[in-house]
Chain A
């Protein structure tokens, strides 16, 4: 379902991905782990056509991501690391605009919307503005949106980051339910090692390279540890990786000031 061959991505002098290759099979739950700045999000961004690779090739659902981006986009759903909802629209409007962007037939989509909203427990809040939602509710809505157009592959970039344990649990249950129902291929990045345990296979990335790729059991056995946490630390080390801060919070404050000044 996903095939990556000798993928390299450079940003100026920085080598974010230094030649990685892997395959993800149909219906697989594939975990992509690694410390901050390892190149996980860059890889996802290439696979979902937001970035073009410097060299190497990548195929998603049989389509080359550089040559056939539109076909790739039709076959994938994405839950981004940062929220990507329109907060000034209602939950239902967000979903409707998504359906329009993906050219989904209205009637069939309506039923699916109901089914998915019901599954994540947001049916009652469908007419509320997204800005009134909690972090967990936004995530759940994003999951609904990501699944609306029957994607073949669902990318989840740290889908449970910053959520409380109950919400994390719920989200995992939806994901498991969907895997059984729709034979979805799941590509997941996460920081929580216990979330990586149920994966069929795991790739561990560090400094732009894949340092290990196997089933969780095989990885534990190979390194001689009982938990994935230990595997991770053994393979990557204890050192904390620095990532450049985006200054996003600072910018959000500035927006507020500017709105007042411009109008």
Chain B
């Protein structure tokens, strides 16, 4: 691939990305969901569970679930963005993109990028709640949070593309979303500490890529973490690269 081709591919990728962002800006229900979801978890669960929660590190429950709620908004937004591939297939727009002179890899990469961008915006919505629930924030923390959120979102969006490229019906995706999104969220260490749970549950949480994402977010926000930070970072980078490669490979062979 020479330089001119590379520029063209980048422009195509940018087009796919831009379209999704323009659509997101108009999608009031999704923006509303981004606000109501964290409110629900922080206000109801956070306040309700607070008095009965005792962690060894002495962290209050609200502080404990805060990174988990960020991760939840990231994972929801990421998977919803990936779902749009199925909509595009059903409503015909995917064909317009597939017959355009751009590579399938650029389409898949553009989708992963737009889904992640939207998810980071949704993650920032949760971050904006921090003063309200007395989670201390600094400018440096926010600067560290953004790339970490992007990495988590990139993994989840790529996973969503993998699923979406195998699916032609929306119903099937909904089922899998429920069997993927919710378990990933519950088993991420975002809602309860992972040190007192039975071994079988521990194994599942350690296999969950979101666990390392939540751990990294928690380290940034409160300095508390379970795994070495270098390991979290390595795992998140490795897993997002793996998922992107898989997403691109599967999208190439997905039906028109």
Contact = CB atoms under 8 A, between A and B. Distances in A.
Interface string B5-36: 00010011011001100110011011011000
Interface string B152-191: 0000000000000000011100100100000000000000
A80 B174 contact: no
Given A89-B19, A89-B23, A84 B92 contact: yes
Interface stretch (B94-102, B125-133, B134-142, B194-202): B94-102
Contacts, number: 95
Contact of B92 (A83, A255, A263): A83
A74 B100 CA distance: 7
Contact of A251 (B12, B103, B169): B169
Interface string B90-124: 11111111111111000000000000000000000
Interface string A84-121: 11111100010001101111000000000000000000
B26 A101 contact: no
B192 interface: no
A101 B97 contact: yes
Interface residues of B, number: 38
Given A83-B92, A84-B92, A100-B11, A262 B177 contact: yes
B95 A101 contact: no
A58 interface: no
A78 interface: yes
B170 A251 contact: yes
A101 B12 contact: yes
B60 to A, nearest CB: 30
A24 B87 CA distance: 35
A101 B80 contact: no
Interface string A220-263: 00000000000000000000000000001001101100110111
A49 to B, nearest CB: 7
B256 interface: yes
Interface residues of A, number: 38
Given A85-B93, A262-B174, A255 B99 contact: no
Nearest to A86: B93
A248 B256 CA distance: 14
A88 B26 contact: yes
B99 A76 contact: yes
Contact of A45 (B93, B102, B256): B256
A97 B15 contact: yes
Nearest to B256: A50
A70 interface: yes
B99 A87 contact: no
A178 interface: no
A100 B256 contact: no
A49 B94 CA distance: 14
Contacts of B94: 84
B18 A101 contact: no
A221 B65 CA distance: 80
Contacts of B29: 259, 263
Given A80-B95, A255-B90, A97 B101 contact: no
25 contacts: A50-B98, A50-B99, A70-B102, A83-B91, A83-B92, A84-B91, A84-B96, A85-B93, A86-B96, A89-B22, A97-B18, A98-B100, A100-B11, A100-B12, A101-B12, A101-B96, A101-B97, A101-B100, A248-B90, A251-B90, A251-B169, A251-B170, A259-B29, A263-B30, A263-B80
Given A262-B83, A262-B177, 9 more contacts: A50-B99, A73-B99, A80-B95, A82-B92, A100-B15, A101-B102, A251-B170, A255-B87, A258-B171
Rank and list the top 3 A-B pairs by shortest CB-CB distance, nearest first: A84-B92, A263-B33, A101-B100
Interface of A: 45, 48-51, 70-71, 73-74, 76, 78, 80, 82-89, 93, 97-98, 100-103, 145, 248, 251-252, 254-255, 258-259, 261-263
